[in-house]
């Protein structure tokens, strides 16, 4: 005898797991890399020296300064957006792409950092595919928009 159960409307273990993944990935990225890169931007504006720009040049990336700025925004603002569950899929897509490129570049330069980059790429690709779950700002905004649309539809 097989029983089927209907999903409960509340918060599931999957939603809690997605919240944990978002917080762990987003906040660790911000604290380990994003804040450091923000400090490096400040130093670059004063001294003109930034190791990340030099690395980008060495790897052969086009417009290495622009790439450095974009990845800095990605690893700080994008990381915060993922952690909060705000514009999660867009931020996750940008971060997955950035860390996919970082994995490739680190492998090209024979750096051991490729493993960390690949790990972040996997986490953000997972969040891109799953979405942020119910414990997110995205879900809250979507729920409110849906409720407003249902209120505006005339009943028959």
2 in the Ramachandran plot: left (φ > 0), alpha (ψ -120 to 50) or beta? Answer: beta
Q: What is the pTM of this model?
A: 0.87
Q: Is residue 3 included in any domain, yes or no?
A: no
Token pair, residue 152, equals 């505006």
Looking at the chain, the whole-number percentage of residues with pLDDT higher than 90 is 85
- The per-residue pLDDT of the chain, averaged, comes to 92
Residue 156 counted as domain residue: no
Q: Would you say residue 7 lies in a domain?
A: no
- Give the chain's end-to-end CA distance (angstroms, integer): 41
How many domains does the chain divide into?
A: 1
Q: What is the pLDDT of residues 62-112, one digit of tens each?
A: 999 999 999 999 999 999 999 999 999 999 999 999 999 999 999 999 999
Task: Specify burial of residue 139 (Cβ count, 10 A radius: 0-12, 13-18, 19+).
Answer: middle
The pLDDT confidence band at residue 11, using thresholds 50, 70 and 90, is confident
The pLDDT, as a whole number, for residue 10 is 78
Assess if residue 43 is contained within a domain: yes
For residue 155, being part of any structural domain is answered with: no
- CA distances, 131 to each of 47, 68, 121, 135 (Å): 40, 27, 15, 11
DSSP 8-state secondary structure symbol assigned to residue 60? T
Residue 94 belongs to some domain of the structure: yes
Establish if 1 belongs to a structural domain. Answer: no
Residue 13, CA distances (Å) to 16, 56, 103, 113, 141 in order: 5, 41, 31, 32, 21
* % of the chain exceeding 70 in pLDDT: 92
pLDDT 10s digits, 132-145: 999 999 999 999 98
Q: Is residue 102 part of a domain?
A: yes
**What is the extent of the structural domain holding 82?**
15-149
Q: Inform me whether the pLDDT recorded for 128 exceeds 60.
A: yes
Contact at 8 Å (CB) between 29 and 102? no
Give pLDDT, residue 156: 59
């Amino acid at each position: 005898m097989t029983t089927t159960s209907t999903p409960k409307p509340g918060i599931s273990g999957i939603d809690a797991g997605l919240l944990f993944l978002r917080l762990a990935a987003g906040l660790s990225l911000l604290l380990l890399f994003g804040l450091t890169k923000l400090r490096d931007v400040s130093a670059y504006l004063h001294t003109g020296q930034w190791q990340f720009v030099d690395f980008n040049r060495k790897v052969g990336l086009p417009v290495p300064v622009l790439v450095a700025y974009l990845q800095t925004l990605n690893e700080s603002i994008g990381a915060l957006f993922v952690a909060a569950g705000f514009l999660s899929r867009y931020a996750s897509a940008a971060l997955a792409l950035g860390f996919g490129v970082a994995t490739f570049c680190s492998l090209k330069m024979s750096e051991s950092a490729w493993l960390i980059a690949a790990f972040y790429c996997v986490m953000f690709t997972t969040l891109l595919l799953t979405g942020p779950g119910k414990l997110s700002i995205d879900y809250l905004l979507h729920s409110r928009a849906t409720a407003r649309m249902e209120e505006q539809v005339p009943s028959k």
